[in-house]
A and B are shown apart, each in its own frame.
Chain A
Amino acid sequence: MSGIHLFVPMLHVRDAVGEHTRALRDLLVAEGVDCRIYIENPDPNTVHETRHYLEYEDDAIAGDVLVYQMATRSDMVAWLAGRPEPVVVNYHNITPSEYFAPWNNWIARHQALAVLELEDLAPTAALGIGVSTFDADELRRCGCPEVVVVPVANVRIPPTPPDPTTLATLRGPEGEDGPRWLSVGRLAPNKAHQDTIAALFIARATTSPEARLTIVGSPSEPAYARALRRYAAELGMHGAVTFVSGISDGALAAHYVAADVLVMLSEHEGFGVPLVEAMSHGLPVVAFAAGAVPEVVGDAGVLLEEKGPRRVAQELAALIDDPVRRESLVVAGRARPAALGLDRAGSDLVAALLGVAGRAPGVSGVPGSDVPLRPAAPLSH
C-alpha cells in the first residue's frame, strides 16, 4: 500500500516543527494511511520512531507522497528533488541568516543555504503548504505553483491542563503579587528576548517595581542564551528573570495559567505557536507585529508596531491595570484558535495531502485519496 511519508532534518520533541510532524503522522495513521518519519540526523529522544532518509529507497512504493517539513537546510532537499514521487513542501519558515550571523557563523550559512534549497525545491513541488499566509507568500515568491494555507497541527484544543504541582510552585506564597510576564520561545537571536528584558527593566524602574519575567525556551543558540543571562544580571535583575527549558506540556501550561501576560517581541515568526497556546489558556498577549504574528493574533491581543522598552512597559502596565480590557482580550483569545481553524487544522492538512495522493501516478490503496484538494482559507486578520 502506498503511503504519505514525512521528511524532516531532525525530529525533536517540544519543538514546533518536530511536534507538528509527529502530530501529522498520528493523524495520517489514524486515517489508515501508511506513514513513517524519515530524518537526516537522529535525535536520541526520537530515534526509535524515525528512519534515515536514504532507507526510504528500499521502502518506496509507487504512489507514495513525500512531505518535507522545511525550516532549515538539509542534504535531504537535493535528494527529494531527484525523487520521482510527488513532493509536498510543508513550510514553517526559514529564519533569515542575518539574525544568526553575529552569533553563529555556521548556522547563518546554514540558513542562507536553506533559502537557496527552497528556491530549488519549491518550483517542482506538487503542493506548498504554508502554516500562515506569511509563509504561503514566501512559497509563492520562490515559485511554488500551488500553495495552500493550513496552520500547524500540533496545537492542542482544548489546551493541555496545567500540571498542579508546577502551578502551585509558580503561584507561590501569598504576597508575591508583582505582575508575572511570560515569554515562550527558543533562545535564538530572532526571538529578541533581550527586548523583553529591557522592557522589564524599565517597568521595574517605573510602573511595576515587582514585575518578574519567565522565559521558557531551549537555549538553541548557546552564545545568545549566555548573553541574555549576562544582560539580565548586568541590569541587576538576576532574581527577576527566570530561564526555564525542557519542561513538560503540563508544566508549560502551568506557566501560561500562572502568568499575567505573554510578551512576544520576536522579530521573525512563521506562525508563533506560543501565541495561540497562551490565548487558549486565557492569557492576554502583547506581541510585536512581525512576520505572521498579526494574522495569528488578530484582534485578540495587543499588537505593537514598535517595541521600544518604554512603549512595551507602558502597554503591559496599561493592560494589567485594566481588568475590563484584559477580560475582553481573554474572551477574544479563547475564541482565536477556532477562528484560525486550528481545531480543524489536522483534518485540513490530511485532506490536502490525500488530495495530492489522489493525483499521484500509480496510487494504490491510500484511503480517502479521492478527496479533492481544497485550498484552506487564508487566516483572518
Chain B
Amino acid sequence: MSPDVPAPDGGPDADVTSDVADRIRYLDEVMAEIDAEVRRRRASGDLPAGLEQELDELFLEFSPVGLQGRARLRETLSLVDGSAYVDIAVPTSSNKAVGSYVKRAIRKGLGWYMNFVVAQIVKFAWSVSRMFHVVVDHIEDLEATVEANRSPDLPSGLVPATPTGSTWWAPAAVDALVGVSDRVVVGDCGDGSLVEALTAAGVDAYGIDPSDIALEPALDRGADVRAEPVLGHLAVVSDEALGGIVLTGSVQWLRPNERVRLLDLASTRLVVDGILVLHSSSPAAWAATASPVVRDLAPGQPLHPETWAHLLRSRGFTVTATIFGGDDRQLARVGAGAADAAEVNAAIDAINDLLLGPTEYLVVATRER
C-alpha cells in the first residue's frame, strides 16, 4: 500500500481512506487497461503496412548490389574491377606428364593469338570500369552537394498540429465542394472534423494525415481516414480520380521542390472541373506566431495567396475565390470623439494594412484543363 494512504481504522478519516483506496483501485484498472491494449496491439501485429518491404529494402542496402539508399557503390565497383581481368595463363598441370607437356605446348602456341584477343577484351573491360568510376565520382559529388543543402527535418514534436474542431474556413471549404460527385480527399485532416462536415453535406470525402496520433479521434468515431502523407497518397492515386482536394497543414512548410510536385500531382489527380481548396497561414502571421525553432528549421514557409494563385494558374487552374480569415489581430480604431481621432485612426489603419492583416487565407481553384 502507498505510504500516503491512511490506515482504514473506521474513525473520522474513514471516508478519506475509502476515497484514496478508490482512486488507487481506479488507477490500477486504468493501468491494466493500458497494458491490455498494448498486448492486444502487439498480438494483432498492428504494424505499419509496407514494413516487410522496408525490412527487405533495408537489408538490400547492405548488399553490394542493393544500390538502394546508402548504396555501397564503391563495394560494387570493386566487384567490377575484380572481374575486368582475363587471365591467359591457362593452368597446365596434369596427372599425366604428357598431358602437362601438351597443355604447355598449346598455351605457348596460342599465346600470340590469345594475347591479341584478350588485350582487347581487357581494354574494353577497363574502359567500362573507368567510366563507372567517373560516374560514381559524380554521384558522390552530387550526394555531398545535396547533403550540404539539405535542411534538417522538423522535430516531430514541434510540427504545428493541424487545427482541430471547427475552423473559420471549414464552412467555406464545404461550400466550395458541395455538389462534387467524385471523391474528395482532405490532406492533413487531423481529427477528421472537416471530413465529417463534408460527408454530412453529401460529399464523398475521406481524410489522410501522416500522424497516427492526430487521427485517433477520427478513427474512434469511425470516420474514413487513413495514416498517409499527402504526397505519398497522391502519388499512388490514379489520374483524374478525385473530384476535390483540400490542402492544409504541411502544405505550408513543404520544400520548394515538394510544393511543385504536389501541385503537379494535384493537377493530374483532379478531374477537369475538380476543385482544389488550399488553406494556409499568411507569411506575416507565420513569422509572428510560429515558434522560433519551427521558423528556423522548417524546410519551407507559407506563401502569399497571390503566389499560390500564380502557381495554380500555371498548372491550368482558375482561382475562383481567395478568402481571408483567422485571428483578427488588427488594432481597433478609436472613437470619433477621442482627441486627435483622425490622426490616430490613420496611424492605426496604416499599421493594420502594413503589419496586422488577416492571419490565414483560403484559396479555391478549379481545374480548367
Q: A residues within 8 Å of B by Cβ?
A: 54, 57, 75, 79, 82-83, 102-103, 105-106, 194, 198, 201-202, 205-207, 209, 223, 226-228, 230-231, 234-235, 308-310, 313-314
Contact = CB atoms under 8 A, between A and B. Distances in A.
Interface stretch (B41-49, B110-118, B211-219): B41-49
Interface in B34-92: 41-47, 51-52, 55-56, 58-59, 62-66, 75, 79, 82-83, 91
A202 B63 contact: no
A230 B62 contact: yes
Contact of A57 (B46, B65, B91, B95): B95
A314 B45 contact: yes
Contact of A310 (B42, B45, B96): B45
Given A103-B63, A194-B59, A205 B47 contact: yes
A235 B64 CA distance: 19
A105 B63 contact: no
Which of A194, A201, A209 has most B Cβ within 10 Å?
Answer: A194
Contact of B95 (A79, A105, A207, A314): A79
B70 to A, nearest CB: 10
A198 B47 CA distance: 13
Contacts of B83: 105
A310 B59 contact: no
Given A103-B64, A230-B62, A310-B45, A201 B55 contact: yes
A235 B42 contact: no
B95 A231 contact: no
B64 A198 contact: no
A206 B56 CA distance: 18
A94 B229 CA distance: 47
A231 B91 CA distance: 41
Given A230-B62, A231-B59, A234-B58, A309 B52 contact: yes
A82 B99 CA distance: 11
B75 A223 contact: yes
B62 to A, nearest CB: 4
Which of A83, A206, A308 has most B Cβ within 10 Å?
Answer: A206
A357 B65 CA distance: 49
By secondary structure, the A interface counts as: helix
Nearest to A192: B59
B85 to A, nearest CB: 11
A227 B42 contact: no
Counting contact residues on chain B (CB < 8 A from A), the size range is 20 to 34
Contacts, number: 62
B174 to A, nearest CB: 40
Nearest to B47: A205
Contact of B45 (A54, A194, A202, A223): A202
Nearest to B82: A105
Contacts of B47: 202, 205-206, 310
A223 B62 CA distance: 9
A223 B58 contact: no
A306 to B, nearest CB: 11
B59 A206 contact: no
Nearest to B46: A206
A313 B45 CA distance: 9
B132 to A, nearest CB: 15
B303 to A, nearest CB: 38
Given A198-B52, A207-B43, A105 B79 contact: yes
Contacts of A83: 95
Contacts of B63: 102-103, 227
A102 B62 contact: no
A360 B201 CA distance: 93
A231 B52 CA distance: 14
Nearest to B83: A105
Ordered nearest first, which 6 A-B pairs have the shortest CB separation?
A: A227-B62, A102-B65, A198-B55, A206-B42, A194-B59, A230-B62
A308 B95 contact: no
A75 B52 contact: no
Nearest to B42: A206
Nearest to A106: B82
Nearest to B43: A207
B43 A206 contact: yes
A37 to B, nearest CB: 18
A227 to B, nearest CB: 4
A198 B55 CA distance: 7
B64 A102 contact: yes
B93 to A, nearest CB: 8
B45 A206 contact: yes
A309 B47 CA distance: 12
A54 B64 CA distance: 38
Contacts of B64: 102-103, 223
Nearest to B76: A102
A198 B42 CA distance: 16
A75 B90 CA distance: 13
Contacts of A228: 62
A29 B92 CA distance: 35
Contacts of B79: 105
B95 A235 contact: no
Given A82-B95, A102-B65, A209-B42, 15 more contacts: A57-B95, A102-B63, A103-B63, A105-B82, A198-B56, A202-B45, A205-B47, A206-B41, A206-B45, A206-B47, A226-B62, A227-B62, A308-B52, A310-B45, A313-B45
